[in-house]
Amino acid sequence: MKKETIIEISFDGKDDYISQFNNAKLSDRLSNYILEECRGKSLSNRITLNIKTNFKINANEKEEFIKMVHENYKTDLKEYTLILKFSNIKKSIIFFIGIILIYLAYFRGISSNEVISEVILIIGWVAIWEAAYTWFFESDKNRIKAKRLKQLAKCRINFI
């Protein structure tokens, strides 16, 4: 049986969860709070939001809230995936530019000037290092955030 991460949330009114600019969207404050509450929790846990309202809320409004939460994190996941895609393309280009610069510095002798050749060599190595660092170390953080957004996009929501 899967373990659960339970997040308790209390609302005094609709203003606590509705965006001040769009009544059909979740407030950024609540969205960030929920994401922050997930930090440090196991990625294998199922996320459950227990909502306590200190005002009357009908079944229709509950359904709208559930839809808002799920749509909010689905949209965040799409945006984050798009950012990662472009970041990976950029890092790949930087990596290959680094290889080309090293090749030119070592084998082609771009210039008879040793200083220029060394500068090109250093820029090439830095470009390769930046791309490698991102792939090996930053990609874990990115995968965790993407997984967390997926969990939240289909989290269970209970009104208590």
pLDDT digits (tens, 9 = 90+) for 68-111: 999 999 999 999 999 999 999 999 999 999 999 999 888 765 55
The pTM of this model reads: 0.81
- Average pLDDT along the chain: 91
Tell me: pLDDT of 158 over 80. yes
The arithmetic mean of pLDDT across residues 146-155, rounded, is 96
Among the listed residues 44, 41, 68, 73, the one whose alpha carbon sits nearest the alpha carbon of residue 57: 68
β-partners of residue 48 are 6, 156
**Please, what's the b/e burial string for 44-56 (b: 16 or more CB within 10 A of its CB; e: otherwise)?**
eeebebebebeee
